[in-house]
Amino acid sequence: MGGYASGKRSWAISDRSGMRFPYTEMVREWNGSLVHYSEFEAKQPQLDPKPVGSDPQALWNPRPQRSSTAVLILLQNNPFTTAIYSGVVYLNVFSEDHQRKAGDIVRLRGAPEVINAGTGGADAYNLQAFADIPLFASMTDPGDGGAINKSTGFTIALGQIDSTGTVTTAPGTLTSPENYFYVTLGSVGSVPDGLPLDTVSGISGGGANCSAGPVTLKAL
């Protein structure tokens, strides 16, 4: 048997329109339909979606962010104010926008000072420590660094307390942040653990370069 005829004088019926067209002008669609070239429709690309792999997640040579470390917050001059209510001595601390929460443990420190000079050279550093906060308002210093300088820190409450027991707090907005917290020093006349024997309400003190921070400092 020979080959197929060219069909140049033949006709064909379109599977789409049912119309007659020259045989040589017919084309085959992707679904097998024989149609005239003027009726040809390409296959919808969405019928053959290309496989999509997952997006890359890892970075080359990343530098992960370190976890937050509590640091010292430098206080303004004379940031401490005493308040006595019902025989209890409180200490108000002014720390602008401190962003602490009630129940945090905060240690109060005096100004940094050099306690031992280095021997010189690029790798010889001065040995530094924190001075005790100067006592004021008739406070005494029977031990543990004084009434304010407790090495174990204080559990704080938010706001500013006065001699009537009223606590004033800021609403906590960006325009009016909380600038005060207060701690309990002890009862008037108490002696142990460096608490004040007696004091006067409403007296400010502390001097310059005091700070509030965690009980234990960590190197960054």
Task: Convert the pLDDT of each residue in 171-211 to its tens digit.
Answer: 877 788 999 999 998 877 665 444 555 667 888 988 999 99
Task: Measure the CA–CA gap between 13 and 135, rounded to whole angstroms.
Answer: 109
- 93 and 157 inside one domain: yes
Both 153 and 100 in a single domain?
yes
Query: Is 129 found in the same domain as 27?
Result: no
34 and 90 in a single domain? The answer is no
Same domain, 103 and 27: no
Q: 118 and 179 share a domain?
A: yes
**Per the structure, how many domains does the chain have?**
2
Cβ-contact 93, 155 below 8 angstroms: no
Residues 149 and 209 placed together within one structural domain of the fold:
yes
8 A C-beta contact, residue 183 and residue 155: yes
111 within some domain: yes
So what's the pLDDT on residue 127? 62
Backbone φ and ψ for 10, nearest 5 degrees, come out as: -105, 165
Q: At 46, is the pLDDT very low, low, confident or very high (cuts 50, 70, 90)?
A: confident
Q: pLDDT class for 126, splitting at 50, 70, 90?
A: low
Q: Which domain holds residue 93?
A: 73-213
The predicted pLDDT at position 125 comes to 61
How much of the chain, in percent, has pLDDT values that exceed 70? 85
Does one domain contain both 26 and 85? no
φ, ψ dihedrals at 20, nearest 5°: -95, 135
In a domain, 50, yes or no: no
pLDDT of residue 196: 56
Per-residue confidence (pLDDT) for residue 117, from 0 to 100: 65
Q: For residues 139 and 86, state if they share a domain.
A: yes
Q: Are residues 165 and 111 located together in one domain of the fold?
A: yes
